[in-house]
Structure 1
Amino acid sequence: MDDIFSQVREGNAFQVRMWLDNTENDLNQGDDHRFSLLHWASREGRTNIVDMLIQRGARINATNMGDDTALHLAASHGHREIVVMDLVNNGALVGMANKFDETPLDKATRRLANILKDRAVQLGQDLQKIPFKDRSWLGYKTRSRDALLSRHTGIDIEQLSLTTHMANTHSGEVWRGQWQKNDIVAKILSLRECTVRNSRDFQEEFPRLRIFNHPNILPVLACCNQPPNLVVISQFMPYGSLFNVLHGETGIVVDQNQALRFAIDIARGMEFLHTIEPAIPNLILTSKHVMIDEDLAKINIDDPKYYAPDGTINGGIDEDLTARVNMGDHKFSFHERGKLYSPAWMSPEALQRRPEDINQKAADMWSFAVLLWEMETREVPHAELSPMETGMKIAMEGLRLTLPPGISSHMARLVKICSNEEPGKRPKFDMIIPILEKLKQK
């Protein structure tokens, strides 16, 4: 990481792409002045690298130590193409003031400021100045290198402050706590006996779950490998899982547009996971394994819709939620062998055969079809049956989900295509993302 900022400043796109392809590198971390890679690329006019970073999930409105966004820097240096075509088109806020009360419009030349205003208005932005406010607690600040979680792998369990017991699940105990002043969730794997081989396999497998370079993947931050305790550490998500949002009492309204946004997020995350070779096994796609997050660095937190009368953040943030596939729900090779706990989301062939004998990508597409059904109906699939009954009936008796009346014909057709009985005829995720995006536009 020591020289990636230099590579960006110099415009070495090949080296930047190679660095980004390493899943453990976090493109949103900053240098000693909290300049992110996007800050430097925008400042130096490296259009191709700006495009690359945005496509990989760079946080558009994150601020550096001086509270400048990437748009501030690009505007002040007169990089018109980056200002208009890249940053503003992807949600950069033209009215956001830094600590000196300067907006990108103030930083730009008169001609560029006029172009910037016109484009922002076309995209529906409010040109009113957003007064400076310390937003670091909301995730606006670029993460510093010293505090970057992805630098840590194996850690001492004594460094964890586990304060709240959240759940006892089939896979282990789940605790909420803090580590290095970061809110975390720690899952202590349930094992009858933690052998030397278990510890070795755990140490070999967990690094592949630390995927920091995609916005729709929630990485494993670190682990504690101290037998008898094997602990998986992830970032705490206050909204919980998609299952919790759909079926719990979170107060979040998942309307048609939000459901489509979630579907696109999940599809993008799965598309990325399917490009990783060798493939990551034992990750079953269910609504319980998708976490709901908010990227507050991409929105205008000063908009009144985000606040209740008492000044606290309210549910108006619904439309800015994103979905992230949780790598912390991966099942390790030595853990709970032969046991299946979410058969309602699994394809018939996945219930009938061994994992090595099926097309896992096609099986994931079936699971995605169940998620689409779940978000459309707001019902738990096969809720009337126990997991064992569900698995047996899907595998042996042809039990399938039915599409109730009222579902749009386009979505009903997509669910049927994604859950084709023949695995080879199911589409790939890169094929359905454009379809979902068109449905969202409608």
Structure 2
Amino acid sequence: MEDIFHWCREGNAIQMRLWLDEVEHDMNQGDDHGFSPLHWCAKEGHTKLVDMLLQRGARVNATNMGDDIPLHLAAAHGHKEIVIMLLKEKSDVNATNEHGNSALHYACFWSYEDICEELINYGALVLLANKDGDTPLDKAKPVLAKQLHDFAESNGQELKKISFKDQSWLGLKTRSRDATLSRFKGINATDLDLHSKLAVSSSGETWRGRWQKNDIIAKILNIRNLTARISRDFNEEFPKLRIFSHPNILPIIGACNTPLNLIVINQYMPRGSLFNLLHGAAGVVVDTSQAVRFALDIARGMAYLHSLEKILPIYYLNSHHVMIDDDLTARINMGDAKFSFQERGRIFQPQWMAPEALQRKPADINWEACDMWSFAICIWELSTREIPFSGFSPMECGSKIALEGLRIKIPMGTLFHLSKLIQICMNEDPGKRPKFEMVIPILDKMKR
């Protein structure tokens, strides 16, 4: 494996760009100490590389093994421009590492006055105590401490010491991903520890388990007769779903091809699918702002998939197939793609499908336009928090959509711009539906 971390430390922009252009490479993977490429570039002060990584969706709040986020490293090494870039990308200005130190603790200790002021402008707390009870002002020299005290006061901070609270047990940290997730393609089935069956569907069984000390989801495909040809096709197709290079795509991290089973392996997502988040027993509240962010994530992921050369497996967009990462990023699950040897003609979740996808032969369908219709149903679902056509069985629903003109109804009170977008994306003429790259700027404006 190429040493991406060495190139980050060196600031080798050419090699970095070439590496990032390969879809199988995971920009959020960590080295042996959990340092992601963004950690290293922030530490070494490579501004252009930090910008490149942020534009491609690198996780700004990923932690290394010491719970440092990139902002800690940029502030500690005096890289003001990078500090500002990270803050603009919503870096957690009061994130604390294993010692309880925030980025401001380090900026104060090294007397980086301009960085201290930038951090305070973005809400850094001057009296946030670390594990030893020291605040950032305690780490600063007296003159700087007085200056920052007055600056924080003028910014409206309540100047009352905040005691350290250990929250590591809450599991809120977003770790850099283990590099093993993107290094291996073929996985030996004996190395998998599958301990909990989560679901059984027509396409197979879904299990939760462990592999290489990573939490995983394993999908055992339902194949009645596993022939040599099917096995060969599987080996050719699954690597095309190892798309690590986009933050809104959840790749297959590997697969097992045994004489009895075909198994697809995904990273475990604790929050589950978007469907479960919206309609599950947990009753998670998704406000309009978060709904727009989810829609934007889905649009970005689908736009990226449509920009790639056509992959053999077919992907049906719906909220069951969108997974929610621990930092509330929506990711298109490649583990839910259909392989060429699976039953392509059978539709199990028609509620999200365009009418022409239920009426025509696969060869006669504009799948990109169908994806846009499915996206509109997802937006409706995010807006209403309802399950589409919940009063019908899947068979009834598919028949009525295809033959009787059954369509979702946008309720009164739906945000005007979302309502308009749903209508545009569900144009009965597939050729008049927008492309995903046209929808992204609209959602991006709505997000602000």
Given the two structures, how large is their TM-score scaled by the length of structure 1?
0.86
Q: For the structure 1 residues 143 and 352, does the alpha-carbon distance in structure 2 shift closer, same or farther, using more than 3 Å as the test?
A: closer
Q: For the structure 1 residues 354 and 57, does the alpha-carbon distance in structure 2 shift closer, same or farther, using more than 3 Å as the test?
A: same
Q: For the structure 1 residues 439 and 215, does the alpha-carbon distance in structure 2 shift closer, same or farther, using more than 3 Å as the test?
A: same
Deviations 1:49-80 (A, max 9, x none): 10111122222233445544322332233222
**Partner secondary structure for residue 177 of structure 1:** strand
The question of whether the paired residues in 1 share the 8 Å contact of 2:389 and 2:397 is answered with yes
State the alpha-carbon separation in 2 of the partners of residues 120 and 76 from structure 1.
Answer: 12
Aligned partner of 1:257 among 289, 296, 306: 289
1:327 maps to 334
State the alpha-carbon separation in 2 of the partners of residues 379 and 351 from structure 1.
Answer: 22
Aligned partner of 2:324 among 275, 292, 298: 292
The question of whether the paired residues in 1 share the 8 Å contact of 2:237 and 2:339 is answered with yes
1:82 maps to 82
> How big is the shift at 1:8?
2.3
2:280 maps to 248
Aligned partner of 1:407 among 414, 418, 440: 414
Q: For the structure 1 residues 169 and 74, does the alpha-carbon distance in structure 2 shift closer, same or farther, using more than 3 Å as the test?
A: same
The question of whether the paired residues in 2 share the 8 Å contact of 1:117 and 1:127 is answered with no
More deviation in 353-362 or 374-383? 353-362
2:115 maps to 116
The question of whether the paired residues in 1 share the 8 Å contact of 2:108 and 2:116 is answered with no
Aligned partner letter, 1:236: Y
2:134 maps to none
State the alpha-carbon separation in 1 of the partners of residues 3 and 119 from structure 2.
Answer: 35
The question of whether the paired residues in 2 share the 8 Å contact of 1:241 and 1:291 is answered with yes
The question of whether the paired residues in 2 share the 8 Å contact of 1:62 and 1:142 is answered with yes
Aligned partner of 2:314 among 282, 287, 292: 282
| 5+ long unaligned stretches in structure 1 | 296-320
Q: For the structure 1 residues 394 and 58, does the alpha-carbon distance in structure 2 shift closer, same or farther, using more than 3 Å as the test?
A: same
Structure number with greater Rg is 2
1:235 maps to 267
1:71 maps to 71
State the alpha-carbon separation in 2 of the partners of residues 173 and 103 from structure 1.
Answer: 44
State, as a whole percentage, how many aligned pairs show the same letter: 56
> How big is the shift at 1:139?
4.7
The question of whether the paired residues in 1 share the 8 Å contact of 2:275 and 2:319 is answered with yes
> How big is the shift at 1:144?
4.9
> How big is the shift at 1:253?
0.7
Deviations 1:277-324 (A, max 9, x none): 1345410000111112213xxxxxxxxxxxxxxxxxxxxxxxxx2211
| 5+ long unaligned stretches in structure 2 | 132-165
Q: For the structure 1 residues 403 and 61, does the alpha-carbon distance in structure 2 shift closer, same or farther, using more than 3 Å as the test?
A: closer
Aligned partner letter, 1:288: H
State the alpha-carbon separation in 2 of the partners of residues 370 and 16 from structure 1.
Answer: 38
Aligned partner of 2:424 among 417, 421, 432: 417
2:60 maps to 60
State the alpha-carbon separation in 1 of the partners of residues 62 and 129 from structure 2.
Answer: 14
State the alpha-carbon separation in 1 of the partners of residues 413 and 91 from structure 2.
Answer: 37
Question: Are residue 346 (structure 1) and residue 346 (structure 2) matched?
Answer: no
Aligned partner of 1:166 among 182, 186, 198: 198
Q: For the structure 1 residues 123 and 417, does the alpha-carbon distance in structure 2 shift closer, same or farther, using more than 3 Å as the test?
A: farther
1:40 maps to 40
1:355 maps to 362
The question of whether the paired residues in 1 share the 8 Å contact of 2:240 and 2:311 is answered with no
State the alpha-carbon separation in 1 of the partners of residues 362 and 25 from structure 2.
Answer: 30
The question of whether the paired residues in 2 share the 8 Å contact of 1:381 and 1:401 is answered with yes
Q: For the structure 1 residues 270 and 128, does the alpha-carbon distance in structure 2 shift closer, same or farther, using more than 3 Å as the test?
A: farther
Q: For the structure 1 residues 234 and 139, does the alpha-carbon distance in structure 2 shift closer, same or farther, using more than 3 Å as the test?
A: farther
State the alpha-carbon separation in 1 of the partners of residues 242 and 7 from structure 2.
Answer: 24
State the alpha-carbon separation in 2 of the partners of residues 247 and 101 from structure 1.
Answer: 37
Paired residue total: 413
> How big is the shift at 1:263?
0.9
State the alpha-carbon separation in 2 of the partners of residues 356 and 244 from structure 1.
Answer: 32
State the alpha-carbon separation in 1 of the partners of residues 372 and 127 from structure 2.
Answer: 44
State the alpha-carbon separation in 2 of the partners of residues 53 and 72 from structure 1.
Answer: 17
> How big is the shift at 1:7?
2.3
Deviations 1:100-125 (A, max 9, x none): 55443343378984443444444445
Q: For the structure 1 residues 403 and 34, does the alpha-carbon distance in structure 2 shift closer, same or farther, using more than 3 Å as the test?
A: closer
> How big is the shift at 1:143?
4.1
State the alpha-carbon separation in 2 of the partners of residues 439 and 188 from structure 1.
Answer: 40
RCO (CA 8 Å, sep 6+): is it higher in 1 or 2? 1
Question: Are residue 180 (structure 1) and residue 212 (structure 2) matched?
Answer: yes
State the alpha-carbon separation in 2 of the partners of residues 107 and 178 from structure 1.
Answer: 37
The question of whether the paired residues in 2 share the 8 Å contact of 1:273 and 1:280 is answered with no
More deviation in 172-181 or 121-130? 121-130
Q: For the structure 1 residues 123 and 109, does the alpha-carbon distance in structure 2 shift closer, same or farther, using more than 3 Å as the test?
A: closer
Q: For the structure 1 residues 126 and 416, does the alpha-carbon distance in structure 2 shift closer, same or farther, using more than 3 Å as the test?
A: farther
The question of whether the paired residues in 2 share the 8 Å contact of 1:223 and 1:231 is answered with yes
1:383 maps to 390
More deviation in 19-28 or 105-114? 105-114
2:249 maps to 217
Q: How large is the Cα RMSD of the aligned pairs? A: 2.4
Q: For the structure 1 residues 34 and 18, does the alpha-carbon distance in structure 2 shift closer, same or farther, using more than 3 Å as the test?
A: same
The question of whether the paired residues in 2 share the 8 Å contact of 1:9 and 1:40 is answered with yes
State the alpha-carbon separation in 2 of the partners of residues 59 and 406 from structure 1.
Answer: 35
1:299 maps to none
1:440 maps to 447
State the alpha-carbon separation in 2 of the partners of residues 268 and 74 from structure 1.
Answer: 28
State the alpha-carbon separation in 2 of the partners of residues 353 and 106 from structure 1.
Answer: 63
